[in-house]
Structure 1
Amino acid sequence: MIEGIIFDMDGLMLDTESIALESWERAGKEFGYVISRELMMKAVGRTLVDTRKLLVKNLGDDFPFEEVRKIRIDYTKEFMSLNGVPMKEGLIEFLEYCRTLKIPTAVATSTNRSDALELLEKVDIVGYFNTIVCGDEIEKGKPEPDIFLMASKKLGVNPERCIVLEDSENGILAATRANMIPIWIPDIIIESDIARDNARYICNSLNEVNIIINELNN
């Protein structure tokens, strides 16, 4: 029986990864840096600290991370103020399904807590979750298992009976290392041997996850 379900946020519940990639690219140009899509794809699922290390390593010690990040955030907020925060297909229906089954749920996102809560509150889904664990609350981010283990501990559930819903390679690896049940729902990364080899199940959208839960619970 499934005892808990842990959700990633960006790219899994909220359709925000592509916005972030474009915003990083635009912000980099203002400072004379080329921040490629390929480079930022490596940062998907990672914490702010790990993203900073990745960019400095690839763009040089002089890369003004905080300044560029501020511009990136401004671009993202501008987009969302005009268009709202886009949610992934089937999200509300699946959250209602989990509520019906009375399965404890958690968010485990690499995003810092203040930013994560702002997004979750904007789409009015905070109330669906028993707990929320964020990237600035753990020592080691994905692909290490820390964030998922903390989430399962807060839920009071057995990690081996916990589903993790993820769109990133780093998230799938973290869930595997936590001995959980990783379900990969591809977003901007649609071809990945790492995710494919480590995911227990692969779904096209959240609309398909209830089928897997029904199978595991019977």
Structure 2
Amino acid sequence: MSDLMTQRSSLEDIVAVVFDKDGVLADSEPINLKSLRQVFASHGYRFGSEIDRQVVGRHPKDYFPAIARQFGLSTARQETMYAEKEALYARMWEEDGSLFDGVHEVLADVRSRVSRLGIATSATRAELDAFLARFELAGFFDLTLSRDDVARPKPAPDIYLSAARAFGTDPRNILVVEDSEPGVTSAHAAGTFCIAVGGAHLAPGTRVLADRTIATLRDLPALLGDLGRG
């Protein structure tokens, strides 16, 4: 648990709440992992759940080369498989992609407590814009940041430092909602107040970097209510 826990016990100083996309709002990580496994299996390569922590919270541009190197794949083979993976993921997401239960309601509730909301994701700008349009979420957010808007993606702190600058405040006044090791690490390194959702993919050493943890996104309003009474 970070030092911010002892510095803040209420929402009094929170200027904005910033949400991660994949694994927080979008139920996309299972599709991400499934498409990766299927493509590698089609080429004769298999791996188990140990791969999950290399993948969850990262864009394929960041994790795919490292996994390919583990199997000694040539650059040409890697490029072919990456293209196959992205095409398969796109089909799966189009057919089965969804929001987590209650996203619209939670965002509306949070907006009633904190006036400004943002979204900060390791997805590309095109992916982010398509997501916001598909699920009619753009109207909730005053700020949208993608990997294309920063020099370094998560786990570097760049995206949350950028959010703080955009909102004109200190990172300590930004409340971040994350779910993955790269995301929690990024939020902590930036100095924000971080709430981790779920935590199935968080190592104990990363879990303690979060200021609070909740089981599901639907638990967020109640937690904010508790903080508001702090």
Contact 1:6 1:106 survives alignment (8 Å):
yes
1:142 to 154, 163, 167: 154
Partner of 1:81: 94
**AA of the residue aligned to 2:43:** F
1:20 to 2, 8, 32: 32
After superposition, the Cα gap between the structure-2 partners of 1:42 and 1:71, relative to the gap in structure 1 and judged at 3 Å, is same
Q: Please state how far the C-alpha of 1:174 moved relative to its aligned partner.
A: 0.9
Partner of 1:212: 223
Contact 1:140 1:146 survives alignment (8 Å):
yes
Tell me whether 19-28 or 156-165 shows the greater mean CA deviation.
Answer: 156-165
Q: Please state how far the C-alpha of 1:68 moved relative to its aligned partner.
A: 1.8
In structure 1, list runs of 5 or more residues that go unmatched. none
After superposition, the Cα gap between the structure-2 partners of 1:32 and 1:137, relative to the gap in structure 1 and judged at 3 Å, is farther
Q: Please state how far the C-alpha of 1:60 moved relative to its aligned partner.
A: 2.4
Aligned structure 1 segments of 4 or more residues deviating by more than 4 angstroms: none
1:109 to 115, 121, 144: 121
**AA of the residue aligned to 1:207:** R
Residues in 1 aligned to 2:132 and 2:47: alpha-carbon distance in whole angstroms: 27
Partner of 1:202: 213
Q: Does 1:154 align with 2:166?
A: yes
Contact 1:48 1:112 survives alignment (8 Å):
no
Residues in 2 aligned to 1:68 and 1:132: alpha-carbon distance in whole angstroms: 30
Partner of 2:80: 67
Identity %: 25
Contact 1:14 1:86 survives alignment (8 Å):
yes
Residues in 2 aligned to 1:194 and 1:57: alpha-carbon distance in whole angstroms: 26
**AA of the residue aligned to 1:79:** M
Residues in 1 aligned to 2:36 and 2:61: alpha-carbon distance in whole angstroms: 16
**AA of the residue aligned to 1:179:** G
1:125 to 137, 156, 160: 137
After superposition, the Cα gap between the structure-2 partners of 1:81 and 1:170, relative to the gap in structure 1 and judged at 3 Å, is closer
Contact 1:89 1:205 survives alignment (8 Å):
no
Residues in 1 aligned to 2:25 and 2:199: alpha-carbon distance in whole angstroms: 10
- Write out per-residue CA displacement over residues 128-187 of structure 1, whole angstroms, 9 at most, x where no aligned residue: 111111113222221111111112222223210111111101111111111111111126
Q: Output the TM-score relative to the length of structure 2.
A: 0.84
Tell me whether 206-215 or 4-13 shows the greater mean CA deviation.
Answer: 206-215
Q: Please state how far the C-alpha of 1:92 moved relative to its aligned partner.
A: 0.9
Q: Please state how far the C-alpha of 1:216 moved relative to its aligned partner.
A: 2.9
1:55 to 67, 70, 85: 67
Q: Output the TM-score relative to the length of structure 1.
A: 0.88
Residues 145-184 of structure 1: matches in 2 within 5 Å? 145-184=157-196
Q: Please state how far the C-alpha of 1:11 moved relative to its aligned partner.
A: 0.8
Contact 1:24 1:35 survives alignment (8 Å):
no
In structure 2, list runs of 5 or more residues that go unmatched. 1-11
Partner of 1:185: 197
- Write out per-residue CA displacement over residues 38-80 of structure 1, whole angstroms, 9 at most, x where no aligned residue: 2243122224442244224323251533322222222223223
Contact 2:17 2:118 survives alignment (8 Å):
yes
